[in-house]
Amino acid sequence: MLGTPESGRLEVTALNLIHPTASPLCTESVFPHCDTASKGGEIKKSPRPLGERVRVRGNLQLWILTFAIFIFALYPSYVFAHVQQGEATGFLTGLRHPISGLDHVLAMVAVGLWGAQLGTPAIWLLPVAFPMVMAMGAMLGLMGLPLPGIEYGIAASAILLGAAVMFEVRPPLAAAAILVGFFAIFHGHAHGTELPPGQSALLYSMGFVMATGCLHAVGIGIGTVHRWSWGQTVLRVAGAVVAMGGIFFMWKAFV
């Protein structure tokens, strides 16, 4: 019968099945925002805390922003996929150019080796200074401005940088950066003058700068063995190999 304790329990059970968060059976451990304390049998639901509402709203906005950036990043690739084939080729050509010549590879790896050997802050300053100055040298080459002794400068960079690693030379940081930047001009000019016709100079430059950074990273990775005594010996041997390679390319430049 209605009004009896048994009927009251049946009504509560039915209400719990329809709306769990509005029933007294909704405990705080299961539904933390449900307030089971009531007056006169009335059930109240406490509002969600302000901090949690702000957090949920912030997460939603972050997902929307990430999705928008993803769409805008993909849009140009779909629009220009077929009309800029030459520019894509220019980027790949620039990416392959530094690793196509052993003289470039030796010098750029030596920059990473020497930076790792010198430690902080040279470990990041030298690999940053080299590509920046190299881009300036490439601009000179793209503009057609002559620079004498390109092959000699590239070979000398391998000789001196390899010797610096082999003898573990520790000059002042500014002197090391100036030496690295000086040789970077020769490497950059060589890249700039060899831009294939009909290809994007900008993307070509981006390609060889990225490839140069990767070669520096290889040198830094090898140079991490410097922390051990046997690694210091290995690093000096690597410097000797670079220097001997530079001597070989210097001989070829004179022949």
**Residue 30 · residue 45 · CB < 8 Å:** no
pLDDT at 86: 47
For residues 17 and 105, state if they share a domain: no
Containing structural domain, residue 147 = 85-254
pLDDT at 196: 84
The last residue of a domain, from among 63, 83, 103: 83
pLDDT at 230: 95
For residues 55 and 153, state if they share a domain: no
Q: What is the percent of the chain where pLDDT is above 70? A: 65
Q: Which residues pair with 44 in a beta bridge?
A: 35
pLDDT at 52: 52
For residues 197 and 223, state if they share a domain: yes
pLDDT at 200: 87
Mean pLDDT by 10 residues, the chain (255 residues): 46 45 44 45 51 50 48 39 51 90 95 96 96 95 93 97 97 97 97 88 92 96 94 96 97 92
**Residue 127 · residue 216 · CB < 8 Å:** yes
For residues 41 and 56, state if they share a domain: no
Buried b (16+ CB within 10 A) or exposed e, 16-51: eeeeeeebeebeeeebeebeeeeeeeebeeeeeeee
pLDDT at 60: 52
For residues 110 and 228, state if they share a domain: yes
State the angle between helix axes of 102-118 and 122-142 in degrees (0 to 180), rounded to the nearest 10: 150
For residues 78 and 18, state if they share a domain: no
For residues 196 and 124, state if they share a domain: yes
For residues 208 and 139, state if they share a domain: yes
For residues 168 and 71, state if they share a domain: no
Contacts 24+ apart (CB under 8 A), 118-122: 118/170, 118/173, 118/176, 121/173, 122/173, 122/176, 122/177
For residues 106 and 227, state if they share a domain: yes
Q: How many domains does the chain have?
A: 3
For residues 57 and 96, state if they share a domain: no
For residues 205 and 98, state if they share a domain: yes
